[in-house]
Amino acid sequence: MEAGFHSGIREVANEAIITPNAIRLDVGQPDFRTPDHIGIAAKAAIDAGYTFYTATAGLASLREMLSAKLEKVNSVNAGLDSITVGPGGVGVIAAAFAAILETGDEVLLPDPGWPNYRMMLDWAHGTPLYYRCPREMKFQPDLEHLESLITPRARIMVVNSPNNPTGAVYPRPTLEALGAIAQRHKLWLLSDECYDQIVLDGTHTSIGSFLGDGRVITVGTFSKTYSMTGWRVGYGAAGAKLVDNMVKVLESNSSCISTISQKAAEAALTGPQDCITEMVTAYRRRRDVVVDLLSEAGLLLSVPEGAFYIMADIAPKGMPARDFAFALLRQKGVSVAPGSAFGEQELGSVRISLASSDSDLREGVSRLCEFVRAG
């Protein structure tokens, strides 16, 4: 089978990597080092001989800690048999798709939304249905449009809050409405909560905290919360039967994730949590700086409430988003992700990552605004 397409984010990132002195505002990766106590725990794990296979679902000790985290942070109750770890949040989501979908089944995806959802459906033989989350609604889901898309072949609804790429955080009434639609149509609801602890304003609510019908899949990761992108540790909580099927998928393609990374993840959960507060405080400060710059230039679309992204309006430039992103990189040395990478709703915008230094954001966004103004 021939794969469908490369991520529009990676296209720009690959060129930015080889562009001298590029200001990187494209990548969704924290610029913070993994906290020291996590690295120390990983080194200790090597010395203690934690270098062999574990159960595919992960160390029982890690899953016990994840059960406690889910209850404390997300108000989601999940026992050991209802939790699996996997190679990043992306690996867990992929396992859920593979465990549920049959050829021709339909999956409701947010637009704009993370492109990897769509990429997975090529090999999972699923069909995407895109529900609008338009700028005029501050990137909240258009519930009426979503429900109008549902057919008898729909199997999964994907919800992503805090959202990548828009930074939108869905309020509880919206999440309740999404849950009600999923129940009404007997859909699995995959709640991608990889940014659950990166909330800049307001609060985050997990759908699994109030929808207990066994059809919610709550997905999280250590990548964003603890700046552990390269450690590749994600996790999912769902009904025990579905988790068992997800583990079968993971067993076939990864056997288990690194034992060293699992021990590092345990240290992340049990160690000091002030690192999260420090990072979120920095993202909030950076968000405010970029909001001011974009607002002054007339390019602000919405103030993000979570994750570490902000969308910028580039329509005044009159260029397709992908062309704009490459031109900005080649002419101004600044890399951003084109809105076209995230669907059809934001073809006239780009995503700016706030996971870059304050100085890079000031300079990079200033160059972007100048580039748009140049006409």
pLDDT in tens, 300-340: 999 999 999 999 999 999 999 999 999 999 999 999 999 99
Burial 341-367 (b: 16+ CB within 10 A, else e): bbbebbbbbbbbbbbbeeebbbbbbeb
DSSP state of 199: B
Shared domain for 281 and 306, answered yes or no, is: yes
Shared domain for 45 and 164, answered yes or no, is: yes
Residue pair 254/28 in contact (Cβ under 8 Å)? The answer is no
Handedness of CA 321, 324, 325, 326 (dihedral sign): positive
Q: Compute how many other C-beta atoms are within 10 angstroms of the C-beta atom of residue 138.
A: 14
Q: Which tokens belong to 90?
A: 């992306």
Q: Which residue has the higher pLDDT, 7 or 334?
A: 334
Q: Which of 1-5, 69-73, 253-257, 300-304 has the lowest mean pLDDT?
A: 1-5
Range of the domain at 17: 8-34+274-373
Q: Compute how many other C-beta atoms are within 10 angstroms of the C-beta atom of residue 264.
A: 28
Domain boundary among 270, 295, 313: 270
> How many residues are given for the chain?
375
Shared domain for 261 and 288, answered yes or no, is: no
Residue 1's pLDDT is 41
Residue 11 has pLDDT above 60, yes or no: yes
Selection from 269, 322, 299, 289 nearest residue 368 by Cα: 299
Domain boundary among 270, 292, 325: 270
CATH number of the CATH domain containing 322: 3.90.1150.10
Residue 5's pLDDT is 57
Shared domain for 191 and 289, answered yes or no, is: no
Tokens 């979120």 belong to which residue?
280
Q: Whole-angstrom Cα distance, residue 20 to residue 11?
A: 17
Shared domain for 28 and 137, answered yes or no, is: no
Shared domain for 279 and 233, answered yes or no, is: no
Residue pair 360/25 in contact (Cβ under 8 Å)? The answer is yes
Residue type, 227: S
- Compute and round to an integer the Cα radius of gyration of the chain: 20
Residue pair 254/87 in contact (Cβ under 8 Å)? The answer is yes
C-alpha separations of 239 from 3, 82, 324 in Å: 31, 6, 44
Q: What is the mean pLDDT of residues 166-174?
A: 98
Residue pair 192/89 in contact (Cβ under 8 Å)? The answer is yes
Domain count, the chain: 2
- Dihedrals φ, ψ of 365, to 5°? -70, -35
Whether 101 is covered by a domain: the verdict is yes
Whether 256 is covered by a domain: the verdict is yes
Mean predicted lDDT score pLDDT of the chain: 96
Alpha helices in 36-188 (DSSP H): 36-47, 60-69, 88-100, 115-124, 143-149, 172-184
Residue 75 has pLDDT above 90, yes or no: yes
Q: How many CA atoms lie within 13 A of 182 on its CB side?
A: 28
Residue pair 307/195 in contact (Cβ under 8 Å)? The answer is yes
Selection from 75, 42, 374, 360 nearest residue 231 by Cα: 42
Shared domain for 161 and 73, answered yes or no, is: yes
Tokens 């997905």 belong to which residue?
219
% of the chain with per-residue pLDDT over 90: 95
Shared domain for 260 and 341, answered yes or no, is: no
Whether 283 is covered by a domain: the verdict is yes
Residue pair 218/208 in contact (Cβ under 8 Å)? The answer is yes
Residue 4 has pLDDT above 60, yes or no: no
Whether 147 is covered by a domain: the verdict is yes
pLDDT in tens, 142-151: 999 999 999 9
Shared domain for 242 and 225, answered yes or no, is: yes
Shared domain for 112 and 221, answered yes or no, is: yes
Domain boundary among 270, 290, 322: 270
Residue 212's pLDDT is 85
Q: What angle do CA 193, 195, 198 make, to 5 degrees?
A: 140
Selection from 30, 29, 26, 31 nearest residue 11 by Cα: 26
- Please list the residues that pair with 128 across neighbouring strands: 107
Q: Whole-angstrom Cα distance, residue 195 to residue 279?
A: 12
CATH number of the CATH domain containing 57: 3.40.640.10
Shared domain for 159 and 105, answered yes or no, is: yes
Whether 1 is covered by a domain: the verdict is no
Query: Residue 277, Cα to own-chain centre: how many angstroms?
Result: 19
Shared domain for 207 and 348, answered yes or no, is: no
Q: Whole-angstrom Cα distance, residue 314 to residue 300?
A: 10
